[in-house]
Structure 1
Amino acid sequence: MKKLNEPSATPFSQTFFHGTKADLKLGDLIEAGFNSNFGQNKKAKYIFLAATLDAAIWGAELALGEGRERIYLVEPTGSIENDPDLTDRKFPGNPTMSYRSIHAFKVVGEVSIWQGHSAEQVKAMKDGLVKLKEQGIESLNDR
């Protein structure tokens, strides 16, 4: 079975994005083991990336912290797998192209111009996340 980020016959490689409020530089590594931007804000077992800009925008908009929302272009340094919170629970087939890894991502660029979601959409998403927490529904990534 082909791994998601294995080289292929095409000269073009898959572009991956990481949305955050962290201020990173070209060449920096994004690694697991730091406090998560989501869920219970505990040490993250995984780091996340997406192959769609929209999913990365959500990552930046929902990230904790006071920093500026940023979207980085990243290269995985190891294998990646589907994010079970999105693929198993919300979007069978992974149309958001959201993935996780225990391996670092290398920052190779930044998307400087992008359009965020409306304030109403962000509020609705945050309200939905609060409702899930109140119902005791935890992220599969926190386990």
Structure 2
Amino acid sequence: MGSENEALDDGPFYHGTKADLRVGDLLTAGFRSNYRPEIVMNHIYFTALRDGAGLAAELAAGDGEPRVYLVEPTGPFENDPNVTDKKFPGNPTRSYRSSEPLRVVGEIRDWTRLAPEALQEWRDRISAMRDSRAEIIN
């Protein structure tokens, strides 16, 4: 393995959101964090795990339908420092971030939805993180 910031995947990559997007659309940084809404993010986040993007879609802010998109980075990217080696050794969540846009290349419809109880557990974890003022590396 290379440096701690060396990305471990070549793709495919996925992004979960409640936004209704089209092929060719660009996802960019500069939006509020889903986990700490008072923070405007300097990066756009994505994963090499389809169902990980599904979880992010279900937890995303907004009222839209959760969606998972197949995306391709348009520039350099790195391991997400919010989970890599900070909370988990290596990058088992296969999570990444970039300050450059992601291009939507398709929508994925066969991702695993969480049971309502499991989704509520995740929402409770997010709420506890907000209350504890856990740090987000931006």
Same fold (TM over 0.5): yes
Mapped to 1, the partners of 2:109 and 2:51 lie a distance apart of 14
Normalising to structure 1: TM-score of the pair? 0.85
Q: Is the 8 A contact 1:21 1:64 kept in 2?
A: yes
Q: Does 1:112 align with 2:124?
A: no
Q: 2:121 aligns with which of 109, 124, 130?
A: 124
Amino acid at match of 1:97: R
Runs of 4+ in 1 over 2 A off after TM superposition: 1-6, 34-38, 40-43
Which residue identity is paired with 1:103?
Answer: E
Unpaired runs of at least 5, structure 1: 7-12
Deviation at 1:80, TM superposition (A): 0.8
Q: Is 1:103 aligned with 2:127? A: no
Contact 2:7/2:96 (<8 A) preserved: no
How much identity, in percent, do the aligned residues show?
44
- Select 1:48's aligned residue among 45, 50, 60: 45
RMSD, matched Cα: 2.0
Pick from 61, 64, 76 the counterpart of residue 61 of structure 2: 64
**Number of residue pairs aligned between Structure 1 and Structure 2:** 135
Q: 1:72 to 1:4 in 2, by over 3 A?
A: same
1:16, distance to aligned residue in structure 2 (A)? 0.2
**TM-score in terms of structure 2 length:** 0.87
The CA distance in 1 between the partners of 2:8 and 2:134, in whole Å, is 31
